[in-house]
Amino acid sequence: MQDLQRSHIISTYFAPRGHARMYALGMQLVQLYLSPFDKLIGIIGEAGSGKSALIRGMFPGLELTNDDNGVYVRPLPILEQDRGFSLFAPHTYHLDVRFETGFTQMSVLAEAITQALHSGKRVIVEHFDLIYPMLEIKADLLIGVGEEVVITRPTIFGPEPQDIYDIVYKSLPYRLMAHTAEDLCEFCLPKEEVERCGHDDVKHGFVLSFPDYAPDVDLKELEEKVYDLIAQDLPVTYLDENHVSIGGAIHPCTGPRIHVPSTGQVKDFHLLYHFMHDVFNKRYLLVGCVGRDNLDKLRKLEEHTKFLHPIE
């Protein structure tokens, strides 16, 4: 097991936009990459990238100290190591460096992490890139969350936490735009079609899947409706774990924190003007993308599938 882990350099996965899919990915990463000997787990990514959901999938039952519902564990358990009876001390600690530095000096946090590691504890550190220069201990496993989930086992030659941060920081806006565009498409679809559709992840885009038959929808008209919502620059806000508000209208969503703040921030949105037929899985796919140069990708996809509906 250890020999296999030592051979691992870096792996990349699409970062799902729904909680259930993020939990499932976390479980998969644990099975493939986590060793019982890994003590320091570094997590890197901006707010709203889904770090907490990934951690919950990787470590079910772990008490997160920065709960998404605004409930924060106090006092911070890792700072209380010497005060509790050792038999009842946690085996795994969690802390969010960005949040905790508002209350505790970075040097104190670094010392607490080092003490826990020396005591044989496992420590999961969000925003690991911020504390690494002071900690000067490489993570056994380093995970970045942006548009993709990047998982690596650093060596003396890297990658450094800043390298992973640079990757996920640049890619996250595409994921936020794609998810917002995905929800805008759902927002304009008939309710009965939204209720039966599934979701897939692609780079700089999204896929809505419909079993058995394609919706009776003109995709050019759907695209124009989404353009109109983008032009209105409507606020997109979190309501609860299952809903967002789009311009004041409630819309169901499985990843309500993973959005741009307003529809006007969705750039270069395009749809493929026909449903792709997934013959083996008996479903029809609505394909959309965001970001520069993706219209060319849709043109190539159009040519490859040899349909008679050119993109204008």
The answer on pLDDT for 24 being more than 60 is yes
Distance CA 291, CA 143 (A): 25
Q: Please give the pLDDT value at position 191.
A: 92
Residue type, 39: K
Distance CA 63, CA 80 (A): 15
Where is average pLDDT lowest: 84-88, 151-155, 225-229, 241-245? 84-88
pLDDT band (50, 70, 90) for residue 84: low
| Strand arrangement, sheet containing 92-96 | 10-14, 148-152, 141-145, 40-44, 122-126, 92-96
Residue range 11-40: mean pLDDT, rounded: 92
Q: Please give the pLDDT value at position 108.
A: 95
The answer on pLDDT for 216 being more than 90 is yes
Dihedral over alpha carbons 72, 74, 77, 82 (to 10 degrees): 170
Average pLDDT, the chain: 88
Q: Which domains does the chain have, with CATH numbers?
A: 2-159 (3.40.50), 173-305 (3.30.980.10)
pLDDT in tens, 150-166: 999 998 888 999 999 99
What percentage of the chain carries pLDDT values higher than 90? 67
Residues 6+ apart with CB under 8 A from 121: 39, 89, 90, 91, 92, 93
The answer on pLDDT for 1 being more than 90 is no
Structure tokens at 82: 């010497």
The answer on pLDDT for 308 being more than 50 is no
The answer on pLDDT for 47 being more than 90 is no
pLDDT band (50, 70, 90) for residue 81: confident
The answer on pLDDT for 208 being more than 60 is yes
